[in-house]
Amino acid sequence: MLKVAPIVQEDQELILSSLSPGPVQRRLALLVVLGILIVFLLITVGPFSDVQTKPVAAFVPAYVMAMFVCDTITAILLFAQFSVVRARAILIIASGYLYTALVLIPWILTFPGVFGPQGLLGGLQSTSWLYFFQHAGLPLFVIGYALSKDADPAERTWHGTTRGAIATCVVLTAALVTVVAIVCIGGEAQLPRVVLDSLRLGPQWPFAAAPVALLSFAALIFLWTRRRSMLDLWLMVVMCLYTIEIPLSYYPSPIRFSVGWYTVRVFGFLSSCLVLIVLLYEIEALYARLIGAIRAERRERVARLMTGDAVAAAIAHEVKQPLTAMTTSASAGFRFLDRSSPNLGRAKEAFEQIVADGHRAAAVVDSIRAIFRNDIRTRSVLDVNELIREALILERADLRRHRILVQSAPNEQLPEVQGDRIQLQQVLLNLITNAIDAMASRDEPRVLSVSSAAYEDDGVIVSVADTGAGVSTQDSERIFNPLFTTKSDGMGMGLSICRAIIEAHQGRLWVSPNSPQGAVFQFTLRA
Amino acid sequence: MNDRPPGFTIAVVDDDQRILESLQDLLESADHAVRLFASATALLDSGCLPEIDCLISDIGMPGMDGFELLRAVQAARPQLPVILITGHAELLDQMPSVVLGQYRLFKKPFHGEELLAAISDLGSGPVT
């Protein structure tokens, strides 16, 4: 059973692999590519082509170790992305980086000079062929990633367990690397001669290398036509690096440990690092945004609570004044009567005051209602669907944060209604916020559906449905009571005020159960 | 002493006119003499502070509030019994931590009989 809700459109902005790169990143990528080209030119035809370099024994192991670690971490991060996003494309590119890491193992085992003068395993040709296979691997996976990205959304998503998928890919990749290693090491005798000795590359080398370079270039083109996200951008830079590495290995000098060879190794390390650095940077940025968003949400919550609380305190205080006068006068009147010689005059005065205070209390309550009902004269003709759209836009951040799927089903044939735009907006926002709260602690799927329809002759009915905990039948009227709340830290004023507003618009607001779970709040308005 | 009414002379301070009047009725029904003031400054300006036996004051008033009045009164007459009444329950958290003379706090609305009982308790033995 599908446990993760489908990724809502609004969520795309949060997912690393589909974040679109800003102009800064694009410029940076361009700079990196230009830098690579300049270095390439300097070394092949420029002043550096004559530089002599010596073989450094420790270079190869150190370099392999660094690349292995970088590629593995990149693969791990991309597999983690997959477990969240469930896109096959991410699984493919993650496997690509894992392949790149694993194939380094047979490569270093066969490299002459590291584990023995002829390498621990394999023959002279093994190392170079392993290099070709390694160098062809990532571009192939990138092409798979590019093709998979734009497939049908239904096909794009993985519908099994993510752990199973990751385990399968890891095993398959390891198997692939093993096969490649066997071919290059065991079948060394059958491989074409591309290497002359442990240092020099042979004249056949470019012919074997050319297809690999073309493959990298093809991967670049595939990505170029399908690029959308940050990940695509930096994978393209990596493919540039891969393409340029091939000619740089052979020109100006087809010798290992030449300046060109060292540069190729450095490029290789760079291509391992790039995607990793970008992923880590974006993770930090997301983390910061998350903290900021949580803080903003808390502040907003507190502000909302305080407003409701302040209103309640004001109301309480205003009503307590006449009530106090009434009880005090009642005690006084009683005492004036409860004497051996009752003072009827003062008792009567006291009771008259009580009556007057009772009316005063009613007037206080009415004046408070007037605050909420203020500007009933500012009624205008409204488009209910427009109100719904605006409310959903205002709540978009909250909905996204809680990964709530929004289904909006506006009926386009709605009659126009009269009402106070601001107040009705408040009602919608309140109902949506309640829905979000009801679903916040529930398992997915979380679905909010807001719909509108014609009602009776000239009215409109709006429904806000959630898949949260729902409202029990005994509470279905109590929740509109001003002091009722099921929230541990909230004021219950919201729904009572909403009902007051709707009733001031000659409508009704009520709640009914949603199937299979949750609540549906509906209100009616008339023209 | 014979021409004094049997009860105390009580000053009442509240910005709500109706509460002042109802308290006057209540206190007079218990045979106390009552002086009414619409604000704390009115009481302090009137100069009758030395003559009263008890003070009843609202806390939440514009200008000088009940706590400030309490401090001013304590300076002048430390032993004066004071009863504070409030419509804001949350002010209970801000009670002065120093025990000033004798005082009580009542929330609005209060029981008339309990208020009168408190006056008798606090004022037993009117002070000069």
**Which segment, A140-154, A346-360, B77-91, is predicted with the most confidence on average?**
A346-360
Taking the alpha carbons of A29, A30, A35, A41 in that order, is the dihedral positive or negative? Answer: positive
Per-residue model confidence as pLDDT tens digits over A496-517 = 778 878 887 888 899 999 888 8
Residue B29 sits at the chain A interface (C-beta within 8 Å):
yes
Which tokens hold the place of A346? 């003062």
Lowest mean pLDDT across A30-44, A165-179, A412-426, A445-459:
A412-426
Residues of chain B found within 8 Å of residue A332, distances taken between Cβ atoms:
22, 25-26, 28-29, 112
Which of A299 and A178 is assigned the larger pLDDT? A178
Per-residue pLDDT for B108 more than 50? yes
Beta bridge partners of A524: A461
* Alpha carbon distance B98, B53 (integer Å): 21
| Closest CA of chain A from B65, distance in Å | 16
CATH class, range A20-277: mainly alpha
SS (H, E, C) A452-491: EEEECCCEEEEEEECCCCCCCHHHCCHHHCCCCCCCCCCC
Per-residue model confidence as pLDDT tens digits over A67-122 = 999 999 999 999 988 887 778 888 899 999 999 999 999 888 888 877 777 777 77
SS3 B45: helix
Per-residue model confidence as pLDDT tens digits over A328-382 = 999 999 999 998 899 899 899 889 989 988 888 888 777 776 665 554 456 778 8
Quote the distance between the C-alpha of residue A205 and its chain's center. 46
Radius of gyration (C-alpha) of chain B in whole angstroms: 13
Which segments of A117-258 does DSSP mark as H helices, in order? 124-149, 153-156, 162-181, 205-226, 230-250
Lowest mean pLDDT across A91-105, A117-131, B27-41, B107-121:
A117-131
* CB-based contacts of A70, cutoff 8 Å, min separation 6: A269, A272, A273, A276
Lowest mean pLDDT across A123-127, A349-353, B15-19:
A123-127
Query: What's the CATH fold of domain A380-526?
Result: Heat Shock Protein 90 (3.30.565)
Per-residue pLDDT for A172 more than 90? yes
Q: Which residue of A has its CA nearest to B110?
A: A324
* Alpha carbon distance A519, A470 (integer Å): 5
* Alpha carbon distance B110, A332 (integer Å): 13
Per-residue pLDDT for A522 more than 90? yes
Query: What's the pLDDT at A493?
Result: 54
Lowest mean pLDDT across A250-254, A480-484, B76-80:
A480-484
Query: What's the pLDDT at B12?
Result: 94
Using CB atoms and an 8 Å cut-off, which of residues 357-416 of chain A contact chain B? 357, 360
Residue A317 sits at the chain B interface (C-beta within 8 Å):
yes
Q: What value does the mean pLDDT of chain A take?
A: 81
Per-residue pLDDT for A158 more than 70? no
Cα–Cα distances (Å) from A394 to A391, A424, A428, A490, B110, in that order, read 5, 14, 11, 21, 46
Question: A487 pLDDT band (50/70/90 cuts)?
Answer: low
Q: Give yes or no for a cis peptide into B50 (omega within 30° of 0).
A: no
Using CB atoms and an 8 Å cut-off, which of residues 61-80 of chain B contact chain A? none
